[in-house]
Amino acid sequence: MERVLCFPCRMVTGQLGERLFSKNSESAFLKTGFCNWKDATRCFEKHEQSACHAEAVGKWSAYCRGVNVASQISFHHSDNQKQSQAMLLKLLSTVRFLCRQGLALRGHTSDSGNFATLLKLRCEDDSVLRQWLEQKKSFVSHDIQNEYLELMAHHITRGLLNRIRAAKYFSIIADEVTDQTRQHQLGISIRWVDELFVVHEDFLGLYLLPKGDAETITRLIKDCLLRSSLLITNCRGQCYDGASVMAGHVSGVSKRIAEEEPRAVFVHCMAHSLNLALQESARQWPIYRDMLDYLKDIINLIRASPKRSAILADLQIQSDEFSGKSLRPLCPTRWTTRQESIHSLLVNYKFVQEALIEIADSDKSDAGTKANGLADSMDTFVFYFALVTGLLIFERTEQLSKLLQSSSISVSAALRAAEHARANLQSYRDDVSWKSMWASCISNASRLDVDPPTMPRVRRPPRRIDEGALPCTQTIEEYFRVVFFQFLDNIIETMNERLNQQCLQLYATVEDIIISSANNATTSPETDGCITTICNHFGSNLDERKLRLNLQMLHDLMPEGKVTERLSDITDQIKSLGPAQRLYAEVSKLIILLLVIPASSATAERSFSCLRRLKTYLRSTMGQERLNHILLLNVHQDETDLIDLKSVARDFISLNDVRRNVFGHIQ
């Protein structure tokens, strides 16, 4: 029986010896020959429309024109790889954007998440991306997304750790937090100083705490340092809160680490110390304790109901005296930020009074009863006086708190700021300041229809212990003056006890010696003894002979006739030397050792704020590894913006042969 072959298909596979890559190739038209003449028309049409025939026609036409088919195939494959590389970079940039902004990648379904939706949006302006994604759907799967996150997070971590290791000396900042799923986490950050004396505090990650004891926390911190290739012998400071687990002098975390590295001095977070000082003082004096409780209840009562909030808003809108400032809730855990809450009530005092009276008249529930009692408390002069004087104090301590939370502040600068804040508070203890404040308080209270001040009822002692002495009589002004001065004295004393940590005095001495040496080349016997103490403390880190020589040379470095008061003036002069900075190597090292000690653990607190934004009740099933990767990208936003996506893409491609075939090598 006669058989026929397809001419272009046969010539390509036979004469040219080329291979057809199409999967639907038919051997009857290529090798054995076609002989099904009953169905010939349909079979011919089917073969003519097949991908195999189209490929053969293209290759035969190229051969007839003298084009090298092998080079054409190679060029086509190379072009596809370049296109795939460009698409991969777009996928990585999409993931980077979402993580930097703290947005969820996934949704309830694979097509409803931010990642998939953002890609669809980009496809509207890029038809090439849309066609490529239709063919390569596997490169946007959940597992692949995790790989993208891991590679980018590792890219940031490697960069951070390389810089920390180059700086050599560092300090540990750690704090505990409970996340949305009630899991106990330990956040670890590292403080270090570069060669230009710039202070850095970098978050490294969160670690699940199976137990909250000192042994477990210490083990996790040491494990983190080991994984990061950071030697504990280079640790010069540790900063935690004042919990006994962290700060215990017998078996706390600070004690356990100090046993391995005695130069790792422990700092009780000075921002926490200030909070505790104010908390203790406020709770010791009834009028300030009651004022804070009433303040919280008043604001919460109004803000808890849209109806009650609307009553206050209507009163504010109808008045020409409204300043535009709304009520701010009182945060129970941040005592130094309460001044915003007190100030918001003072500027809205009249409106809040009227709102509480209206609520008490119209609301027949428990809220009405509570509003009536709170309105009565606002009519008392004691409450108004406590608000005014409390605002005066808390405004100044809040400025100190914000300064202590700065990541670049040194312990010596923090101690000076605390001393300045205490001196500022002490200035209000003179008669002139008191007279002015008392007159203003009386005038404003009268304007707001607050009851005039009265003396509290004198409580007589029991007769069995009463010796018949007459009770001490005071005027109303003297009584409130004594209350305010006692509260002020208590705050100043408590701040002094909590902020002047004994271990930090050495570092304050270090800064004083450096500044005095810059102003005067001669040294006193007292200074000589301090230098010896400093060198003994830091051991092999400092060469005492070279340090003394550097301190003597420091005066010649400073501008003539200018008195140096800040450490930054000295560091600016040393940096201006350029390569000659090595002449002052020991002084530079001493300054770095001074700056590397953290004053507060605010960096850990900021990372916890980021955690609360990322791990919400809608994202509560996020795994620990994925959480850490996203957290690193979101916390280090500047580093995330500078990620070399081509480097990340090369790491992604190198993981298996399939990716190398699809993407090739990125230059």
Tokens encoding 577: 């030397």
The model's pLDDT over 200-235, given as tens digits with 9 standing for 90+, comes to 999 999 999 998 899 999 999 999 999 999 999 999
pTM of the shown model: 0.82
The whole-number pLDDT of residue 227 equals: 93
Q: How far apart are CA 631 and CA 428, in angstroms?
A: 45
The whole-number pLDDT of residue 31 equals: 78
The model's pLDDT over 491-531, given as tens digits with 9 standing for 90+, comes to 999 999 898 888 888 888 888 888 888 887 666 677 778 88
201, containing H or E segment: strand 199-208
445 falls in which pLDDT band (50, 70, 90)?
very high
Among 336-340, 422-426, 512-516, 545-549, the range scoring the smallest mean pLDDT is: 336-340
The whole-number pLDDT of residue 429 equals: 87
The model's pLDDT over 389-418, given as tens digits with 9 standing for 90+, comes to 999 998 888 888 888 888 888 888 888 899
Tokens encoding 44: 């011919």
Domains in the chain: boundaries: 7-67, 149-269+601-635, 274-455+474-487, 503-595
Mean pLDDT of the chain: 87
Q: How far apart are CA 272 and CA 23, in angstroms?
A: 70
- Whether the Cβ atoms of residue 336 and residue 398 lie closer than 8 Å to each other: yes
Q: How many CB atoms sit inside 10 A of residue 385's CB? A: 23
Note the Cα 328 to chain centre separation in Å. 23
61 falls in which pLDDT band (50, 70, 90)?
confident
Specify the DSSP class assigned to residue 470: P
Residue 173: burial class (beta carbons within 10 Å; 0-12, 13-18, 19+):
buried
- Whether the Cβ atoms of residue 584 and residue 210 lie closer than 8 Å to each other: no
Note the Cα 484 to chain centre separation in Å. 38
- Whether the Cβ atoms of residue 480 and residue 453 lie closer than 8 Å to each other: yes
As a whole number of Å, the CA-based R_g of the chain is 37
173, containing H or E segment: strand 170-178
The model's pLDDT over 132-174, given as tens digits with 9 standing for 90+, comes to 988 888 899 999 999 999 999 999 999 999 999 999 999 999 9
The residue among 458 and 556 whose pLDDT is bigger is 556
Instruction: List, in order, residues 6 or more apart from 98 with CB less than 8 Å away.
Output: 104, 105, 114, 115, 118
Per-residue H/E/C for 568-596: HHHHHHHHCCHHHHHHHHHHHHHHHHHHC
The whole-number pLDDT of residue 136 equals: 85
The model's pLDDT over 5-54, given as tens digits with 9 standing for 90+, comes to 888 888 888 777 777 766 666 777 777 788 887 888 888 888 888 888 88
Specify the DSSP class assigned to residue 348: T
Q: In the predicted model, is pLDDT for residue 603 greater than 80? A: yes
Tell me which amino acid residue 166 is.
A
Check the CA dihedral 338-344-349-353 and report its sign.
negative
- Whether the Cβ atoms of residue 222 and residue 253 lie closer than 8 Å to each other: no
Between helix 567-575 and helix 544-557 the angle, nearest 10°, is 90
Q: How far apart are CA 138 and CA 451, in angstroms?
A: 74
- Whether the Cβ atoms of residue 239 and residue 172 lie closer than 8 Å to each other: yes
Q: How far apart are CA 47 and CA 45, in angstroms?
A: 5
The whole-number pLDDT of residue 73 equals: 57
The residue among 74 and 564 whose pLDDT is bigger is 564
Check the CA dihedral 418-422-427-428 and report its sign.
positive
149-269+601-635 CATH? 3.30.420
71 falls in which pLDDT band (50, 70, 90)?
low
245 falls in which pLDDT band (50, 70, 90)?
very high
66 falls in which pLDDT band (50, 70, 90)?
low
Q: What is the mean pLDDT of residues 628-657?
A: 93
Q: In the predicted model, is pLDDT for residue 586 greater than 70? A: yes
Among residues of the chain, what percentage have pLDDT more than 90?
Answer: 43
- Whether the Cβ atoms of residue 312 and residue 355 lie closer than 8 Å to each other: yes
180 falls in which pLDDT band (50, 70, 90)?
confident
Among 107-116, 243-252, 525-534, top mean pLDDT goes to 243-252
Among residues of the chain, what percentage have pLDDT more than 70?
Answer: 93
Cα dihedral value 562, 564, 568, 574, nearest 10: 60
DSSP β-ladder status, 184-193 and 199-208: antiparallel
Question: Of 434, 348, 419, which is closest to residue 389 (Cα–Cα)?
Answer: 434
The whole-number pLDDT of residue 57 equals: 84
The whole-number pLDDT of residue 89 equals: 94
- Whether the Cβ atoms of residue 303 and residue 327 lie closer than 8 Å to each other: yes
Q: How far apart are CA 575 and CA 569, in angstroms?
A: 10
Q: What is the mean pLDDT of residues 259-285?
A: 89
For residue 363, give Cα distances in angstroms to 154, 193, 376, 377: 58, 60, 16, 18
1 falls in which pLDDT band (50, 70, 90)?
low
The residue among 614 and 504 whose pLDDT is bigger is 614
Among 325-334, 485-494, 507-516, top mean pLDDT goes to 485-494
Mind giving me the DSSP string for 42-84? HHHHHHHTSHHHHHHHHHHHHHHTT--HHHHHHHHHHHHHHHH
Specify the DSSP class assigned to residue 15: I
Per-residue H/E/C for 641-661: HCCCHHHHHHHHHCCCHHHHH
561 falls in which pLDDT band (50, 70, 90)?
low
Q: What is the mean pLDDT of residues 320-324?
A: 79
The whole-number pLDDT of residue 98 equals: 94
Edge-to-edge, what's the strand order for the sheet holding 184-193?
Answer: 199-208, 184-193, 170-178, 235-240, 265-268
The whole-number pLDDT of residue 504 equals: 82
